[in-house]
Amino acid sequence: MPVHLLFTEETLNARLNSRVDSMVAQGLLAEIRQFYERFVKPYDDNDFHRGILQSIGFKEFVRYLEKYDRDQDRLVEEAMAATGEGAANPPEGLPLLRSCLDNLKLVTQRYSKKQLKWINHRFLVDGPREVPPIYPLDTTDVSRWTEIVSGPAVRLIEAHLSAIEESNLAAILAPLPKHASPRAGLNEETSFHCDICQRTIVGEYQWADHLKSNRHKKCLQSKHKKEKLGC
């Protein structure tokens, strides 16, 4: 039974950021240093766009790992763990590591947005595909966790296990409404010809999409320019 944990974007990003910080506190640097020394440094044809090297949480640190060594790692870790920012002599590698961490935070936030978009598209759009109801649990306010998250979740699962009809589960928690697909009711086979771009487009949705596209707008602009020059 799918449940969808909801949160405001602000809450989510703050949580993602603090997750990165706690990964560092728990020894991320030592772990990626070991991986780097063993699997990356000995080779000179590393491709950071493929395989495990492209995974989030490693490639963002390569700049730092290449430039500094384990001794610097220790100093940087000490400086980051020290309470009270602005130590008199921050280690040389600290600014670069911080910039790598900022980058990791950004990439993680971007990835989470992609996941949310995927969930929305896959589960919350009304379409020909059969999708199970999705139950929303708002996790923004952790101080009410039992009341609004774990409590309803457990009640839902118990009801589900005792084979209560799916339609009756809504009494415990209403599932998220499905919204209409942007393609609903549109003809997928009609073809259109764009005189401006000299392109043929199939499908009403794709046609509307084309008219809004940058490609079409650019063609339109250059056509206007040519017309002006022609006058």
Residues that bind Zn ion (CB under 5 A): 194, 196-197, 216
Minimum CB distance to Zn ion smaller for 1 or for 194: 194
Shortest distance, CB of residue 196 to Zn ion, whole angstroms? 5
With beta carbons less than 8 A apart as the criterion, state whether 1 and 160 touch: yes
Count the Cβ atoms, other than its own, within 10 Å of residue 226: 9
Of 173 and 201, nearer to Zn ion (C-beta) is 201
CB atoms within 10 A of CB 193: 11
Decide whether 189 or 195 has the Cβ nearer to Zn ion: 195
| CB nearer Zn ion, residue 116 or residue 186 | 186
* CA distance from start to end of the chain: 66
Q: Nearest approach, Cβ of 216 to Zn ion (angstroms)?
A: 4
Nearer to Zn ion, 122 or 215 (CB): 215
**What is the nearest approach in angstroms of Zn ion to the Cβ of residue 187?**
19
| Shortest separation between residue 190's beta carbon and Zn ion, angstroms | 16
Rounded CA separation 226/195 (Å): 15
Nearest to 134 by CA among 35, 43, 7, 2: 2
Q: What's the token pair of residue 64?
A: 């730092």
CB of 228 to Zn ion, least distance (A): 19
Whether 76 contacts 93, CB under 8 Å: yes
- Find how far residue 25's CA is from the centre of its chain: 23
